[in-house]
Amino acid sequence: MLDSLIHTSPELTRIATNPEYELQIIYTQINRDAQNRPSFIPHTYQLNPGQYFNPASLVKLPVVALSLEKLNKLNKPGVHRRTIMATGTAWRCQTPVRFAAPADSDQAATVGNYIKRMLLVSDNLAYNRLYEFLGQRPLNDRLAQLGYPNARITRRFAPCDTNANRYTNPISFHTIQGDTLYKQAAQYNAVPYTSPLGRVLKGQAYQVGRRVIRRPYDFTTANHLPLADVTAVLQSILFPSSVSASRRFNLTSSDYAFLRWYLHATPHQSGFRPYAPAQYFDAYKKYLYYGRDPKLPYQASLRIYNIVGMSHGYLADVAYFADSLHQSEFMLSAVLYVNKDGIINDGAYEYASIGLPFLAQLGRLIQQYETQRARQFRPNLAEFFAPEPIR
Instruction: Answer whether 390's CB lies under 8 Å from 257's CB.
Output: yes
* Rounded distance between C-alpha atoms, residue 254 and residue 264, angstroms: 16
b/e map 191-214, b = 16+ CB within 10 Å: eebebebeebebbebbeeeeeeee
Q: Is the pLDDT of residue 285 over 70?
A: yes
Instruction: Give 42: exposed, middle or buried? Use CB within 10 Å, 0-12, 13-18, 19+.
Output: middle
> Which pLDDT belongs to residue 387?
77
Residues 247-273 have a mean pLDDT of: 94
> Which pTM was predicted?
0.97
Residues 4-21 have a mean pLDDT of: 96
Q: Is the pLDDT of residue 254 over 70?
A: yes
Q: Is the pLDDT of residue 158 over 90?
A: yes
> Which pLDDT belongs to residue 151?
97
Q: Is the pLDDT of residue 271 over 90?
A: no
Q: Is the pLDDT of residue 108 over 90?
A: yes
Residues 123-146 have a mean pLDDT of: 98
> Which pLDDT belongs to residue 389?
65
Q: Three-state DSSP class for 129?
A: helix
CA atoms within 13 A on the CB side of 264: 27
Q: Three-state DSSP class for 135?
A: coil
Contacts (Cβ under 8 Å, ≥6 apart) of 56: 223, 309, 310, 311, 312, 314, 316
* Rounded distance between C-alpha atoms, residue 126 and residue 131, angstroms: 9
How large is the angle between the packed helices 124-134 and 136-145, nearest 10 degrees? 80
How large is the angle between the packed helices 111-121 and 60-74, nearest 10 degrees? 160
Q: Is the pLDDT of residue 373 over 70?
A: yes
DSSP secondary structure of 24-87 = EEEEEEEEE-TT--EEEEEEEES--TTS----GGGGHHHHHHHHHHHHHHH--TT-STTSEEEE
Residues 249-263 have a mean pLDDT of: 96
Q: Is the pLDDT of residue 277 over 80?
A: no
Instruction: Indicate the DSSP class of residue 224.
Output: B
* Rounded distance between C-alpha atoms, residue 339 and residue 217, angstroms: 13
Q: Is the pLDDT of residue 104 over 90?
A: no
- How high is the mean pLDDT of the chain? 95
C-alpha torsion 381→4→50→22, nearest 10: -100
Q: Is the pLDDT of residue 168 over 80?
A: yes
Choose the CATH number for 2-384 among 3.30.70.580, 3.40.50.300, 3.40.50.2020, 3.40.710.10.
Answer: 3.40.710.10
Instruction: Give 79: exposed, middle or buried? Use CB within 10 Å, 0-12, 13-18, 19+.
Output: middle
What is the residue type of 364?
Answer: R
> Which pLDDT belongs to residue 233?
98
Instruction: Answer whether 263's CB lies under 8 Å from 307's CB.
Output: yes
% of the chain surpassing 90 pLDDT: 90
Q: Is the pLDDT of residue 275 over 90?
A: no
What is the residue type of 237?
Answer: I
Residues 56-74 have a mean pLDDT of: 98
